[in-house]
Chain A
Amino acid sequence: MITEFSVDVDTLNLSDSKSLPVIRVSGEIDIYTCSELRKTLASTIESSATDFLLNLENVQYIDSTGLGTIAHSAQQIQTNNGQVFIICTKPQIKKIFEVSGLLSKNISIYESEDQISVPVEN
């Protein structure tokens, strides 16, 4: 079953009165849809976000173009010690992140948004 692709932007209020931009994606991230994700990530970073949360719980598929898009944004915020928090529960998507080697950088995977209660201090 393919869910229509969508990208929604929200804010997650953290316990210490800080907030984190949240980008929730649904559907398949591939060469066709990744440009929309790229635009959203770019505008999130432009509006002075150091860290952001990317929720991929409702993503059924991601390939190297999607990973490239995420890696590019992660690289941009790395200069300000920014972090990308990925929410992902599907084993096949986790596997792709693992195979790509991206997780050794400033990208980390969590099971749910609740786990991101305190921002990482740099």
Chain B
Amino acid sequence: MASKLEVSLTIPSMPEFVGVVRLAISGIAARMNFTIDEIEDIKISVSEACTNAIQHAYGTSPNPEKDFIDIKAYLTDDNLDIVVKDYGQGFDLSIIGTPEQREKSKEKMGLGLGLTFIKSLMDNANFESVEGQGTTIQMSKKSVNYSTTAVS
């Protein structure tokens, strides 16, 4: 029976904490025997999810004492499932990938590529957003090398 382990991390909605999340998640991924390339993909994806929350969830000036981002990693055998959740203003998911979104991203000097990266670098990605309640980005990836070296 596969056990499901949970590692959670909560950060203030501040740019300086995104690097901390990357460090933590690469440590978790390394424990699961993901390859160096896969660890990079996971790092970028989680980082993009946090960056998305910092840039969009809590308006232009988040209050670091009360605006948080929750990052949860669920480890089940060879599968790493990561959920990045904010409790901010939410957004209309239907604009992802549209010219309108690119335009909005440009205003923040972005490319509108963050969510696209997550989709292309992870095995699965789901976005959920409720206006006024927040956004949840869920993503997962399987570690191909896991079963050969894992201690049961």
A and B are partners in one complex rather than unrelated chains: yes
The answer on a CB contact under 8 Å between A32 and B18 is yes
Chain B binding surface, main DSSP class: helix
Give how many A-B residue pairs fall within 8 Å (CB-CB).
Answer: 65
Contacts of A14 in B (CB 8 A): none
Bound complex: CA A68 to CA B15 (Å): 16
- In this assembly, does A113 line the interface, its C-beta being within 8 Å of a C-beta of chain B? no
- Which one of B37-45, B65-73, B139-147 is at the A interface? B37-45
The answer on a CB contact under 8 Å between B109 and A30 is no
Give B47's nearest chain A residue, CB to CB.
A63
Cβ distance B39 to chain A, nearest Cβ, rounded Å: 9
Q: Convert B36-69 into 0s and 1s, putting 1 for each residue whose CB lies closer than 8 angstroms to a CB of A.
A: 1100100110011001001100000000000000
Q: Convert A67-81 into 0s and 1s, putting 1 for each residue whose CB lies closer than 8 angstroms to a CB of B.
A: 111011000000000
Measured CB to CB, the residues of A under 8 A from B are 2, 28, 30-32, 38, 61, 63-65, 67-69, 71-72, 91-92, 96, 99-100, 102
Measured CB to CB, the residues of B under 8 A from A are 15-16, 18-19, 22-23, 36-37, 40, 43-44, 47-48, 51, 54-55, 105, 108-111, 113-114, 116-117, 120-121
9 interchain pairs, CB-CB under 8 A: A2-B23, A32-B19, A63-B47, A64-B48, A65-B109, A68-B105, A96-B44, A99-B113, A99-B117
